[in-house]
């Protein structure tokens, strides 16, 4: 697993998989699917992400404006589960809407005890 700062599992994200493997077929298929699902014009080149904890490399979507990412990088934490302020208002608003991210963070916290 490669857990993002917010708790999402990057290892199952097509953009992260494309970055790691160079799978051009997956890149094209995902661009088409996401363009249809999100009503945007997503090119295959946009489906490439090194993961939000990576400072260098490509990032997808709103990584550079994500408040959770900015906070985690600023505090130099691997993810929110290891932050002394967990679960602050910023991450709570997100994980309340994204149960898999919350479950990942809770699992990490439980393993640290």
Residue 64: pLDDT band with limits 50, 70, 90: confident
Residue 1 lies in a domain: no
The number of domains in the chain is 1
pLDDT tens digits for 11-38? 999 999 999 999 999 999 999 999 998 8
Residue 37 lies in a domain: yes
Q: Nearest 5°: CA angle at 57, between 74 and 32?
A: 115
Q: Which domain holds residue 32?
A: 10-112
In this structure, are residues 47 and 14 in contact, taking their beta carbons and an 8 Å threshold?
yes
Residue 3 lies in a domain: no
5 found inside a domain: no
pLDDT of residue 38: 85
């Amino acid at each position: 697993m490669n857990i993002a700062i917010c708790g999402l599992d990057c290892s199952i994200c097509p953009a992260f998989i494309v970055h790691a493997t160079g799978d051009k077929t997956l890149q094209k298929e995902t661009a088409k699917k996401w363009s249809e699902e999100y009503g945007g014009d997503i090119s295959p080149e946009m489906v490439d992400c090194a993961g939000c904890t990576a400072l260098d490399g490509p990032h997808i979507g709103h990584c550079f404006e994500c408040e959770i990412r900015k906070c985690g990088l600023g505090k130099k934490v691997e993810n929110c589960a290891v932050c002394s302020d967990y679960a602050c208002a910023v991450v709570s608003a997100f994980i309340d809407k994204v149960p898999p991210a919350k479950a990942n963070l809770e699992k990490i916290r439980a393993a640290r005890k």
